[in-house]
A and B are shown apart, each in its own frame.
Chain A
Amino acid sequence: MTGAKALIQALEKEGVDVVFGLPGGANLPIYDALVDANFRHILVRHEQSAAHMADGYARIKRKAGVCFATSGPGATNLITGIATAYADSSPIVAVTGQVPLAMIGKDAFQETDIIGVANPCTKYSFQPRAAAEIPEMIKKAVYIAESGRPGPVLVDIPKDVQQATADMKFPELIKVRGYNPNVEADLSEMARAVELLLNAERPIIMAGGGVILSGAFSELQALAELVKIPVVTTFKGKGAFPENHPLAMGPIGMHGHAEANKIIVEADCIVAVGARFSDRSVGKFDEFGKGMSIIHLDIDPAEIGKNKSVDVALVGDVKSSLRTLVKMFSKKMIKKDSDNPWLKRRKELIQYYAETLKDYPREITAKKSLKKLRELLPANAIVTTEVGQCQMWASLHFDVITPGTFFSSTGLGTMGFGFPASIGAKAAKPNVPVVDIAGDGSFNMTENSLAVSVLDKLPVIVFLMNNYMLGMVAQWQRTFYNRRYSGVHQHNCPDYVKIADAYGAQGIRAESMHELDKAIKAALKSDVATVIDIPIDPEEDVYPFVAPGTGLKDMIVGA
């Protein structure tokens, strides 16, 4: 059997049902073997999108997404997608072609040291030197990508290794020495956490992306309800907890919900679950959590104390740690009634900001559009976003009801992520509506994936809040650079309805709330992708805003 065939079979054995990719000189043998594969191949128009599709697929399927690219530029085009997956701990396996072994290091045509290039943004990488190594490497690649704190793994296969034949052994079990992802939290530390939490008067849960990665939704909800703790999330953790739940407060951070930013500053004990205290979430590191006790649950020991020193660290899968905590609490007498001053404070803050925050004065705004979208989408619809103002508006104004149905490029903040990622998500769950909450600047970057959406029958909805502006940059220039706009105008180009039309997708312009209502309903019924072009005033800013380098308490709530 050839190395290329072994690759395909190894992927089949891992249960892979779809691969996103693009062929080239150095992966021709793989594409030849692909003809006989029992999984689907989706041809992308740019490799960056292949990585984002694999990422979107992985986040919804909660197993590794796979993408293929050729050597050199094909491989480097994947890098943005790989770095995005790395920053958000998403399991993807990227398989690249490489020049033949004898050509490596000779600056051959389309040769790049992709292992070297990708090193800082991969969890691990492999380069088989013989065809017989491929089956075990693929099994290890999938295992490493999916287990522990997930992340991207690169497999770089020289062309002659793809072509070479060998007697292949497909191992059932593998062991990676030096990699031990399954740790259980220390029970004595658990007891300390319970003590701290029982003695706290103003406890808060800060749920991060780790809750979504481990699928610890019911465990998180059980803990919050049992101990009656309000729940904020990080932006990556958005949707870890139903945002219509009576204890929910929404995301904190630079563009967090005002009430969430406010309440976390007032808390005396923070339970951070699968969160990494990123600057975008917590603001100034030194200021965050001052005078509070912090309990940190995370699967990655290196996250403990990285950005924030904590009082109790529970290292382990947050699902199992939360389950243990719930058990320990069930045995305690909890006096806290749902009427305690802290929960009253929660209601008070929500009400205060609901009355204080002013809506942007226009018939159609980002906020109203997103509220309308929520109203018309089923609770289980999957929503992702582009990056910029659209993303932060989504965080602020689109409530996630079913846990785990929302994701975004939160760590790397990759423009162009949302649309291909939504196609990947649709491939993972074809029967559920999938929406990309988009802005024009970001959608522009990967809009050629419309071809994929149409041809591969993966109809998603691009909810395009269009101000023909790199809006977030413009907002910062308005706020910090005295309205000296530089490099932000898109000058009404292109016409997105025509763009959609050109690809055989459906383009609808919605200039009023009534038209938007109709457009969303038409999109939900459509069997091709729909781009809903919603003109947004370029002066509509995202608020609240915590300026970089300041603390959450310095939040600006409006212009």
Chain B
Amino acid sequence: MFATTVQKESWHIVSALVENKPGVLFRVTNLFRARSFNIESITVGSTEQQDLSRMTITTNSDEKTLDQLVKQLRKLIDVIEVKVLDTDKTVYRELALIKIRAVDPTTRSEIVNYATIFRGNILDIGKETITVEITGTPDKIDAFKNLVEHYGIAQLSRTGVSALPRGGVES
């Protein structure tokens, strides 16, 4: 009914410093749900300050939605600071654990080779599967996943992106 001009969506990393106390993650995710913000990943963890946590949120949004997402986040009382990170000036990584079906020796050695090329680690080898750890940008993880998909992925777990701005000492 209230169609607005369609804007181009692009990928953004939003970094938020929040109070390290119960209920904060709930308030943030509830806000996203209530306002229909589409989130690709969200990670929360401790920071250099004991009473603060850092949330890293990745989202495919147009500029207008991103602007609202940031402003609505800032409005939350438990949120201390919000920044949209410039991906060119940011180090960001994601970790993925991928359990791949691998029974015959050829498949097994191929997977080990690919993992080496992607600087991954073999974490576990079972009778029918190999579990690989890959760390990198989400693109790199996607590339590895695409490469091994045809063997059959038994299970996959991604952490979502964690990020910090390059250089400087500011939070």
Interface of A with B (CB < 8 Å)? 115-116, 119-120, 123-124, 144, 176-179, 279, 284-286, 300-302, 304-306, 309, 548-549
Contacts and interface: CB of A to CB of B under 8 A. Distances in A.
A300 B75 contact: yes
B80 A177 contact: yes
Nearest to B73: A302
A194 B60 CA distance: 38
Given A120-B30, A548-B1, A302 B77 contact: no
Contacts of A285: 2, 4
Interface string B111-129: 0000000000000000000
10 contacts: A119-B30, A177-B19, A178-B78, A178-B79, A279-B2, A302-B68, A302-B71, A304-B71, A305-B68, A549-B1
A393 B40 CA distance: 47
B77 A124 contact: yes
B72 interface: yes
B77 A144 contact: yes
Contacts of B12: none
A309 B67 CA distance: 11
Given A177-B19, A286-B4, A119 B68 contact: no
Contacts of B26: 116, 119
A442 B5 CA distance: 38
Contacts of B23: 115
A142 to B, nearest CB: 14
Given A115-B23, A284-B2, A286-B3, A301 B71 contact: yes
Contacts of A548: 1
A178 B19 contact: yes
B72 A302 contact: yes
A302 B3 contact: no
B145 interface: no
Contacts of A306: 68, 71
B89 interface: no
Contacts of B93: none
Contacts of A119: 26-27, 30
A68 B128 CA distance: 61
Interface in B66-105: 67-68, 71-72, 74-81
A300 B27 CA distance: 19
A549 B67 CA distance: 25
B121 to A, nearest CB: 38
A115 B3 CA distance: 34
B150 interface: no
B64 interface: yes
Nearest to A126: B23
A115 B23 CA distance: 9
B169 interface: no
Given A116-B26, A279-B2, A285-B4, 19 more contacts: A119-B27, A120-B30, A120-B34, A123-B77, A124-B77, A177-B80, A178-B18, A178-B19, A178-B77, A178-B78, A286-B2, A286-B3, A286-B4, A301-B74, A301-B75, A302-B68, A302-B72, A302-B75, A549-B1
Interface in B1-49: 1-5, 18-19, 23, 26-27, 30, 34
Nearest to A144: B77
A64 to B, nearest CB: 16
Contacts of B79: 178
Contacts of A286: 2-5
A309 B77 CA distance: 25
Nearest to A548: B1
Contacts of B68: 302, 305-306
A281 B31 CA distance: 24
A178 B26 CA distance: 17
Contacts of A304: 71
Nearest to B19: A178
A123 B75 CA distance: 9
Nearest to A153: B77
A549 B34 contact: no
B29 to A, nearest CB: 10
Nearest to A125: B23
Which of B2, B18, B27, B34 is the most central at the interface, judged by chain A CB atoms within 10 Å of its CB?
Answer: B2
A462 to B, nearest CB: 35
B94 to A, nearest CB: 27
Contacts of B1: 284, 548-549
A99 to B, nearest CB: 17
Contacts of A177: 19, 80
Nearest to A300: B75
A177 B18 CA distance: 10
B2 A549 contact: yes
Contacts of B18: 178
A83 B84 CA distance: 31
A178 B80 contact: yes
A301 B72 CA distance: 9
Contacts of A305: 64, 67-68
A179 B2 contact: no
